[in-house]
Chains A and B, each alone.
Chain A
Amino acid sequence: MNQQKIDQYGDELYQAFLDRKTITPFTEREPDITLEDAYKIQLRFIQRRVDAGERIVGKKIGVTSKPVQDFLGVFQPDFGQLTSSMVYQEGDVIDLGGLIQPKAEAELAFVLKEDLQGPGVTAMDVIRATEYVAPCFEIVDSRIRDWKILIQDTVADNASCGVYVIGSCKADPRDVDITMAGMVLEKNGELFSTGVGAAVQGSPANAVAWLANTLGELGIPFKAGEVILSGSQSNLVPVVDGDELVCTVGGIGSCSVRFAGRSAV
């Protein structure tokens, strides 16, 4: 794909993001689009947001569970960039009015205290470089019509990232078994689903190591202080006005979030 098309598609995503409208999947329009093309479109989309004043504050890892990988027919994760405008604090009410077709996922977030420069990064390096882990919610959102995504569509669309909130409790990954830590997700006071760290690439630390190595290959910096959403441990949760979600990670604690307003779709 030539640079002109890449810019055009990145700009189209940026406009859809601003207007809260969906667009036709790229894979319908460009049957030969590659994953590499998709990441270039993502870079353009993010560059437009950075040009408008947002800062890169971290990364998200997606497509980390076997069911999602089987569904999309890909056998590795993907990633997107987190920006300063996506951040909510625990206790804030998330305004669905700013989103298009949101769904929530419960995850474990990592905050780095050292740069992680791939290639050659292993899960052991990830633990060494991690300041803390915390339960979090990622509110995924798709600028692609009806979530009709193939892997190239979601990668171009910044890995379907919407907004996120990180719980105020945290743990040192040396003090808790992040692979075996259970995850309990409740919606409006009722059990919604349960999961475990191992659902994410065998361990959330493996997903972060994959990210460090992939970013290293692409020459994208991965710095101390960045937040990494390591991948969903729950089913996707549809959310509407008034919903409250709580996720609790065994040995760490809980993150809760409330929603108000109406999304575009």
Chain B
Amino acid sequence: MSVTLSREDIVRLCERVEGAQTRAYAIPKLTNEYPGMTIEDGYAVQSELRRRFIEQGHTLVGWKAGLTSKAKMEQMGVNVPSIGFLTDKMARPENSVISTSDLVHPRVECEVAFVTNKDLAGPGVTAADVIAATDYVLPAIEIIDSRFSGFKFDLESVIADNGSSARYVGGGRARHTKDIDLRTLGVVMEKNGEVIGMGASAAVLGNPAEAVAMLVNILHDLGETLPAGSFVMSGGITEAVAVQPGDHVIARYQDLGSVSIRFGE
């Protein structure tokens, strides 16, 4: 597979996604109009979106991996995760109230996030390379938001929509990877005092560092590297759960503390 869309079509689709993201409305999945769209086309649209955001003054902070559980990959018929970019404009502080009026259908996931202190460049990057390049890990909540109507989407459209990236919150306790077992970290997610998700970090490709390694290798295919100081979200340990104004969400992690957020109008 390769890029099949013309430059004109890529720009057109990018404008459509950008409009949906910035003005918070749902659009039909892109493959309705472009049924032959490939995953590479999806990344071409995403790259154009990134270029535009950076041109508008957003700072690229890092990346996120999606589709990191075996079940989700099988559901989508792929054997690698998808990735999306993260900017400073998507960051929200721990214990803050996150507005939902500028989101379409927000959902939350618990993840382990990595902060790097060495450059990483694919191809062939392994989980061990990722560990060696990691400054620290921290717990995070990702607020994903698919801009597609009625949650009807496919991989090509999701990638064009920047992997449903919307907001992210890092917090809790930063740890060196040598002080914890990255595979067996227990996670409990609660909404309004009720447990809504449970699991352990191995749910992410057996080890979240594996997801980061795959992410760096996909970046290579896009002609990009992961510079030192990047923030990387390694993929949901728990299922994504819908949130609405008034909800309080707390993600509790073994050895990494917790991250708490509220949602408002």
**Distance A251 CA – B254 CA, assembled complex (angstroms):** 9
The answer to whether A197 and B186 touch across the interface, beta carbons within 8 angstroms, is: yes
Chain A residues within 8 Å of B237, by CB:
194
For A252, the closest partner residue in chain B by CB is B184
The answer to whether A181 and B184 touch across the interface, beta carbons within 8 angstroms, is: yes
Within 8 A of B (CB), among A187-207: 191, 194-199
Cβ of A180 under 8 Å from chain B: yes
Cβ of A61 under 8 Å from chain B: no
Interface string of A239-258 (1 = CB under 8 A from B): 00000000011110000000
Cβ of A6 under 8 Å from chain B: no
Cβ of B188 under 8 Å from chain A: yes
**Distance A197 CA – B199 CA, assembled complex (angstroms):** 9
Cβ of A177 under 8 Å from chain B: yes
A180-B252 CB under 8 A given contacts A248-B183, A248-B184: yes
The answer to whether B199 and A194 touch across the interface, beta carbons within 8 angstroms, is: yes
Q: Which listed residue (B70, B200, B203) contacts A250, Cβ 8 A?
A: B200
The answer to whether A184 and B198 touch across the interface, beta carbons within 8 angstroms, is: no
**Distance A197 CA – B252 CA, assembled complex (angstroms):** 12
Chain A residues within 8 Å of B198, by CB:
195-196, 198-199
Cβ of B9 under 8 Å from chain A: no
For A198, the closest partner residue in chain B by CB is B188
A250-B188 CB under 8 A given contacts A180-B252, A194-B202, A195-B200: no
Interface string of B223-265 (1 = CB under 8 A from A): 0000000000000010000000000000011110000000000
Cβ of A98 under 8 Å from chain B: no
For B258, the closest partner residue in chain A by CB is A180
Cβ of B185 under 8 Å from chain A: yes
Chain B residues within 8 Å of A183, by CB:
184, 186, 200
Measured between C-beta atoms, what is the minimum distance from B165 to chain A in Å?
24
The answer to whether B185 and A195 touch across the interface, beta carbons within 8 angstroms, is: no
Within 8 A of B (CB), among A81-110: none
What 18 new A-B contacts, CB under 8 Å, besides A180-B186, A194-B200, A194-B237?
Answer: A180-B253, A180-B254, A182-B187, A182-B200, A184-B202, A191-B70, A194-B202, A196-B187, A196-B188, A196-B198, A196-B200, A197-B186, A198-B188, A198-B198, A250-B181, A250-B183, A250-B184, A250-B255
Give B contacts to A, CB under 8 Å: 70, 181, 183-188, 195, 198-203, 206, 237, 252-255
Give A contacts to B, CB under 8 Å: 66, 177, 180-184, 191, 194-199, 248-251
Closest 3 CB pairs of A and B: A182-B200, A250-B184, A182-B186
